Amino acid sequence: MRFGLNIVPVRPGDLGAVAVRAEELGFESLWTGEHVLTPVRLGDGYPGPTGKPPFSPDSRFLEPFSTLTYLSAVTSRVRLGTGVIILPLHSPAAIARAIVTVDVLSGGRLTLGVGVGWMREEFEAVGQDFTNRGRRTDEMINFLDTVFAEHRPSFDGEFYHLPEVGFEPKPVQRPRPPLLIGGTGPAALRRAARSGDGWIGGNQAPPRIAETVAEIRDLRAENGGDGRPFEVTVILGWGQQYEADLVQDYAAAGVDRLMVTPWARSSEAMSAIEQFARDARLA
């Protein structure tokens, strides 16, 4: 099992020190998520078991690609992941440039986790259509693959159009940084099976994860991609310490990486990752 560290709740002033220590301790990856805005009022609520989002309107969210670029400069081996960026909130060309910047400056250490988003109010606030976000995400993935692969890329889709252009440099990782698709709905699982190099799941119990992994495996077989490498990442809840039996259960369910936040308060991040590393014998 590989262990990634969720750095979203780390205090900004502590990010560099926590990242360096995490690499020293043997964490395999560092992950940051995204919300461009955090609306005060949500009409439909959070589509999770509690109905409440795992953040408040005043939660801190740093721009993920700038954050990972900074962390690439203070680390040398640890992978750097987005878990997840909300792809259809953005311009595909701007996102392509951000992705390639992190991958090049980190020496090919970026893993790109993406999702379609769930918060209608955030889409409305930034002027993006919420209703077609899934279709736009599919097209954006094709857009990214095009500009990363072709010398003089052009693109003509339903939503996005690009005349013949130059796009250099290309990503260090070829043909692209690993693309992990987030989400648990049928459309998200189909997208992961069809277009992804992996899947990111939320804080669900191992039996439910095992069912999802089996479903993705069947969908990949239908799409002729069952032989390609594919990794499964699961995000655990905040404050979850290392538990050997739980880790074994996730491994048996087909999980390759657990993304952890082993502290309840941001001030405890450093001591918590050191304790987790000792318990998990990471070093």
- Kindly report, residue by residue over 245-278, the tens digit of the pLDDT: 999 999 999 999 999 999 999 999 999 999 999 9
Distance CA 269, CA 27 (A): 14
Chain-wide mean pLDDT for the chain? 94
* Tens digit of each residue's pLDDT (9 = 90 or more) over 186-199: 999 999 999 999 99
**Res. 158 pLDDT band, cuts 50 70 90:** very high
Closest C-alpha among 131, 232, 253, 134 to residue 186: 134
* Tens digit of each residue's pLDDT (9 = 90 or more) over 115-149: 999 889 899 999 999 999 999 999 999 999 999 99
Distance CA 143, CA 160 (A): 8
Structure tokens at 169: 């440099």
Q: What are the chain's domains? A: 2-136+176-280 (3.20.20.30)
221 vs 227, residue with greater confidence: 221
**Res. 227 pLDDT band, cuts 50 70 90:** confident
